[in-house]
Chains A and B, each alone.
Chain A
Amino acid sequence: MRSSAWTWGASAALLVALPLVFRSGFAMSLFCQAGIVAIFALSYNMLLGQTGLLSFGHAVYYGLGALFTIHALNFAAAGWHLPVTLMPLVGAIAGLAFGIVLGYITTRRAGTTFAMISLGVGEMVAACSLMFPGFFGGEAGISANRTLGEPFLGITFGPQIQMYYLVAAWLLLATAAMYALTRTPLGRMANAVRDNPQRAQFVGYDPQWVRFMMVALSGFFAGLAGGLAALNYEIVSSESLSAYTSGLVLLATYLGGIRVFAGPIAGAIAVTLMQTVLASLTTAWPFYFGLVFLATVLFVPGGIAGIVLLHKRLWEMRLARRAAPVYARMALPVALVLVAGVLMVEMAYRASAGVSLRLAGWLLDTRSTGTWIAVVASFVAACLLCRWAWRGARPRWAEVSAAIGDAR
């Protein structure tokens, strides 16, 4: 209990201190974006990680939350009395309402069917957004102004830093609420329904009811994230409830790790960094994004949180010294594979745009067959080297992971 109080205190202190260290406007908008995605991803993990429901349409609640908030903002500008601080609650309530309605339909089935139905319902709402451009804003979107009403204690939400503290406060509140939910009987039953619906039923709970409750509540938090997004960007377009956004939150959550409560937060930070920093470096970022996701599914199903936990355990069990040679052996081959792979992808993107790759004074001609053969050959060679190195390292790694397994 003490340690968890420490964790919450440290998180709050970190959120307060961040803008004091990173003052630039870019950092500020990055933090806001990451915070919003973190709430969204945590709400998604209520389904995927805690209830075992894979949804392909979670953006519906986020997008509708954002839309209702932006309309509320415009109504407030026309004379409604609702403080901007509480505006995200409008989105949250909209998310909850749609979670109740759509959850009733989607949770009639579980497992793979739920995934397909959630996709269908998501597409249905996205298609509706083209039918009613007045409410949904169409592709141009609906814009609003968040600086309205009399300033309260000098807070107008004009400067980005004030918006940051609003996002941070809601992030802390929402995270605490979602964490508390995992400790309630409903949260526990959600885990039971995920692991074995039949036995959950024998205990006396209706799995369908538990799933429905979780979908509705996660709709609430997704709507909250949407509401914050509406305030932050001051514009909502039909993209916010599209399949793209649904895919993004799935990627962020899984990348962060679905078995650990805080995993999706790490995923949200990673995805935000990829979307901003990586996207400013290369046009190939969606490709890398897809590859990173595939690699996570195949090789690291625990995600970022899983990697962190593994190393924490290695450290605690004093196995770090035994694991170190594996890392030393694999570092160079893996780095070579990455370098050659990135080179190959960048060349392909350059070739597609019809330009050559300029690299620290070198000029790689993307149209010459010779360059291509050299690059592909070095990639294959790096892969073979990596495989050879792994063959040698595998017994030792198996030893280490067996030692961790024994301790469990």
Chain B
Amino acid sequence: MELALASLLNGVTYGLLLFMLSSGLTLIFSMMGVLNFAHASFYMLGAYFGYVISTRVGFFPALILAPLAVGAIGAAVERFGLRRAHASGHVSELLFTFGLAIVIEEVVHVIWGKTPVPYRVPASLDGPLFTLYSSTFPTYKAFMMAVSVAMLAALYAGLTRTRAGLVIRAALSRPDMVEALGHNVPRVFMLVFGGGTALAALAGVIGGNAFITEPGMAAALGPIVFVVVVVGGLGSLAGAFIASLAIGIVQTFAVSLDYSIHGMSLSRVAPVLPYLIMVAMLIARPRGLMGTRES
């Protein structure tokens, strides 16, 4: 019981972090039709920027500044790279972001080296928040949850309640009509791409010190985020939310439970579980949980 509750809380924290990544990916995909292969690389950049800014200025400024800086890089990538690749179709865009992921990883190698950097949880958020039976729940995990939920609420309110959100949602379905009404659709795309990468960077700032900040973190998390988006249904924010939590919880439970089936412990199967879920979903319901599109 105690273990189950602790695992559940950890799983929800991890799931919310996954959702911060998959929401940006989904937003970019449903707006521009671009699958951003480099999305996890922006997550990694967020973690490294968070590390640099938090050691120079402080953690809380980093929470704002790092996503802004990464968002600006993302917007520049859209403006000067993706927009050009867009002319030759979706495959070119996907390949462009694939190449970008390689280049970003190399740049991180050069600037910060190949070993993990000492990015730590700030002292004010270090320590236990409350004790559950005999195990403690760290304050920082609660902080991570709070930031993700706040971001979620802000994203939802921004998309449904503001004028800018209205234009974004309109550009999603009828870009030509929105353009005819006098809105600059390419600029909206640029802002959405910048915004999506900034969300990924925010996840990096709060996730980098909870887990580990190293050059391999993008390659490790990227496929999981893709799995989340496929399981949730391409282009569906609600589906991505459910899938993020489900995969976060399943993976955390698999690691913490100590069962073994046919001599193979569950924790060794854990890395394969998300992919097995994806394959099962594809066989049972190819469009994903909440997906509406066929391809």
Is the pair A124, B81 in contact by a Cβ cutoff of 8 Å?
Answer: no
> By the criterion of a CB under 8 Å from any partner CB, how many residues of chain A are at the interface?
41
In the bound complex, residues from chain B placing their C-beta under 8 Å from that of A109 are: 282, 286, 294-295
A300 to chain B: closest CB distance in Å? Answer: 11
Interface-centre pick from B110, B227, B230, B294 (highest chain A CB count, 10 A):
B110
Q: What residue in chain A is nearest B293 (Cβ atoms)?
A: A113
Report the separation of the CA atoms of residues A348 and B108 in the bound assembly, to the nearest whole angstrom: 11
In the bound complex, residues from chain B placing their C-beta under 8 Å from that of A128 are: 272
Interface-centre pick from B85, B106, B226 (highest chain A CB count, 10 A):
B106
In the bound complex, residues from chain A placing their C-beta under 8 Å from that of B103 are: 287, 290-291, 294
Is the pair B113, A352 in contact by a Cβ cutoff of 8 Å?
Answer: yes
Interface-centre pick from A48, A243, A287, A289 (highest chain B CB count, 10 A):
A287
Contact-residue size bin, chain B (C-beta under 8 Å from the other chain): 35 or more
Q: What 0/1 readout, one digit per residue, does chain A (286-317) give for beta carbons within 8 Å of chain B?
A: 11011101100110010000000000000000
In the bound complex, residues from chain B placing their C-beta under 8 Å from that of A131 are: 264, 268-269, 271-272
In the bound complex, residues from chain A placing their C-beta under 8 Å from that of B76 are: none
Q: Which of B94, B269, B278 contacts A112 (CB 8 A)?
A: B94
Is the pair B35, A301 in contact by a Cβ cutoff of 8 Å?
Answer: no
Whether B118 is near chain A, meaning CB under 8 Å from some CB there, is: no
Q: Which of A54, A108, A120, A348 contacts B286 (CB 8 A)?
A: A108
Is the pair A120, B278 in contact by a Cβ cutoff of 8 Å?
Answer: yes
Q: Which of B90, B102, B268 contacts A111 (CB 8 A)?
A: B90
Count of A-B contacts judged by CB separation below 8 Å: 117
With A120-B223, A290-B106, A298-B81 already in contact, the answer to whether A113 and B234 are too (CB < 8 A) is yes
Is the pair A254, B279 in contact by a Cβ cutoff of 8 Å?
Answer: no
Whether B5 is near chain A, meaning CB under 8 Å from some CB there, is: no
Whether A279 is near chain B, meaning CB under 8 Å from some CB there, is: no
Is the pair B219, A243 in contact by a Cβ cutoff of 8 Å?
Answer: yes
Whether B149 is near chain A, meaning CB under 8 Å from some CB there, is: no
In the bound complex, residues from chain A placing their C-beta under 8 Å from that of B91 are: 48, 52, 54
Interface-centre pick from B100, B268, B279 (highest chain A CB count, 10 A):
B279
Is the pair A110, B295 in contact by a Cβ cutoff of 8 Å?
Answer: yes
Whether B137 is near chain A, meaning CB under 8 Å from some CB there, is: no
- Residue contacts A-B, CB under 8 angstroms, 6 given: A52-B91, A110-B295, A112-B33, A119-B226, A284-B106, A286-B106
Which residue numbers of B lie inside 8 Å of A, CB to CB? 29, 33, 35, 81, 84-85, 88, 90-92, 94-96, 98-100, 102-103, 106-107, 109-111, 113, 219, 223, 226-227, 229-230, 234, 264, 268-269, 271-272, 274-276, 278-279, 282-283, 286, 294-295
| Sample of 8 further A-B pairs with CB below 8 A, known A108-B286, A290-B100, A298-B84 | A123-B223, A128-B272, A290-B103, A293-B102, A294-B103, A298-B96, A301-B88, A301-B92
Which residue numbers of A lie inside 8 Å of B, CB to CB? 48, 52, 54, 56, 105, 108-113, 115-117, 119-121, 123-124, 127-128, 130-131, 243, 247, 250, 254, 284, 286-287, 289-291, 293-294, 297-298, 301, 348-349, 352
